[in-house]
Amino acid sequence: MTAAGSWRAGGISWGVKELRYIVVTGGVMSGLGKGITAASIGRLLMNNGYKVTAIKIDPYINIDAGLMSPFQHGEVYVLKDGGEVDLDLGNYERFLDVELTRDHNITTGKIYSTVIDKERRGEYLGKTVQIIPHITEEIKRRIRQVSREGGCEICLIEVGGTVGDIESMPFLEAMRQLKYEESGNIFFVHVTLAPSTMDGEQKTKPTQHSVKEMRELGLQPDMIAVRCEKPLLPETKSKIAHFCDVPIEAVISCHDAQDIYKVPLQLDQEGLTRYLMKAMRLFPLEERRDWADLVRKMDAQREPVRMAIVGKYTSSSQCTDAMEDAYLSIREAIKHAGIEAGLLPQITWIDAEELEAGAPEIVLRDFDGILVPGGFGSRGTEGKIKAITYARERKVPYLGICFGMQLAVIEFARNVCGLENASSTEFGPTPHPVIALLPEQENIRQMGATMRLGNYPAHLKKGSLAEHIYGTTEIVERHRHRYEVNPAYIQLMEKAGLIFSGTNGDLMEIAEILDHPFFFSSQFHPEMRSRPNRPSPPFLAFVQAMKARKDRMAQAPISA
């Protein structure tokens, strides 16, 4: 069994204790909220003084999420070491206030690639390489390594997909083995579904069949977290407990919540923390109230401000929650900033392609701020540039992120500096490549490393808006991009009023306009380091700038 430091209680060390594992699986259907459930469990344990980390297992064969379409899979979340991962890792970082690494995301592609490489190097000494034991041993090795190196006391393991999927079988088998190897220190939470009929009856058969399938794989849930529209009725809980062989206290109602940040407190009220800690022989080490304070601030009366997000994954005709997941971290960073500022940002998603054919003075006239997020490729760029022009000329607060900064540079080069058809070499030949791959990047591209990924430092100019926002001249933020501002055009644009106030050597990190109430754009993704109790400084400044503009507009005289 794995040691994890000393047992802490009341300032007294009780000797070496053993690491606990909590495995979260899902049944019936995907998208039930395993990630939020797991993150909420982690937050509740943190509230009781425990050090928690998280591992997300994705059964897909991709090595990572870097090449996945945002339409199909939501945003690609970037970790500090440059790992491109599933968006659930972002929820873990926000809920647990930790910084994870690429090793915290295990995929089928990673496992098979490692095992095949070992086989080619002869590490298996001529043995026949099989799912059991070689694949399952590699899965367990990675889990233990991450847990040990993270210095945690409790490790959450979310197994993606649903029980019964072919892709998940090796991972569930590894969990079965781990159950016996870590006997007494491992706890299984199964997230399932209890749909309601038209007359409100809660049906338990989907849950029963899902648990039956788990048992056939040698796994018995210790707790069943039941997703449902309304709180589980006592008779529903009793029936699930009876047929699924768990105590009634271990049947937890995971009914719909107004906001994901309310889920931990809701689960705590359902008795999850009390039962889980009792079953795992844990006791409270401290009582943290910061999450409850966050929810109180979130529920407080807040003044609305209106913002437009002009993106390429937000078709207004079909903008569902799933499509908004393409910008999940941005949405959460806006929420964090609003809570801190005492404001309620109201987001309207605007499709950049539709704006290309529309009139921005009509589409954008009712907003207090405009945000252009990241993206790749030329589709929708002219619509985004129209939005940037409107924000610059009408003095509307503007926040550009990654591609949103590059397009702000292109817009300024065209419409202020007079560089006709200025563009990015990403889109093809251009007479004025104000955005381009730098010469040193061309060499890197030949070796296959085409993007700047993960944490990079930046130096901020004294007296700049950037320094004012961050309160320092040295920052670290996360990146995910290929192309850079072309140094050959920097002097021309700065002379015209576009100031590059954040730099990393010859790389431009932040661009701002001097004679504008708030025009701030970054090559990095500040949203990925935003936390519920610690909002990203650019996002906080952006929502505050929207409030300032709203107040100015309210005081402005109405023209005849």
> How far apart, in whole angstroms, are the C-alpha atoms of residue 309 and residue 181?
49
- Known catalytic membership, residue 190: no
CB 104 within 8 A of CB 117: no
Tokens of 102: 């690429």
Q: Give me the catalytic one of 411, 426, 467, 527.
A: 527
β-bridge partners, 77: 85
> How far apart, in whole angstroms, are the C-alpha atoms of residue 466 and residue 247?
55
The stretches of 222-289 forming alpha helices (DSSP H) are 234-244, 263-269, 272-279
Q: Give me the catalytic one of 190, 432, 479, 525.
A: 525
Tokens of 90: 């972002």
Tokens of 540: 């906080």
> How far apart, in whole angstroms, are the C-alpha atoms of residue 474 and residue 462?
10
CB 286 within 8 A of CB 48: yes
> How far apart, in whole angstroms, are the C-alpha atoms of residue 131 and residue 166?
13
> How far apart, in whole angstroms, are the C-alpha atoms of residue 259 and residue 201?
25
> How far apart, in whole angstroms, are the C-alpha atoms of residue 460 and residue 470?
9
- Known catalytic membership, residue 73: no
CB 372 within 8 A of CB 394: no
Coil vs helix vs strand at 287: coil
The alpha carbon dihedral of 210, 52, 83, 319 has a sign of positive
What proportions of the chain, in percent to the nearest 5, are helix, strand and coil? Answer: 40, 25, 35
β-bridge partners, 188: 23
Q: Which residue type is seen at 143?
A: I
CA-based angle 318:322:324, to the nearest 5?
Answer: 80
Q: What is the maximum span of the chain, computed from C-alpha positions, in angstroms? A: 88
Local structure of residue 84 (DSSP, 8 states): E
Q: Give me the catalytic one of 402, 432, 467, 481.
A: 402
- Known catalytic membership, residue 354: no
Number of residues that this document lists for the chain:
560
Residues contacting 478, CB < 8 A, separation 6+: 78, 79, 80, 454, 455, 456, 524, 525, 528, 529
The angle, 0 to 180 degrees and rounded to 10, between the axes of the packed helices 88-96 and 328-341 is 20
C-alpha dihedral (473, 477, 480, 486), degrees to nearest 10: 0
Of the candidates 226, 233, 192, the residue with the CA atom closest to the CA atom of residue 209: 192
What residues are labeled active site? Answer: 402, 525, 527
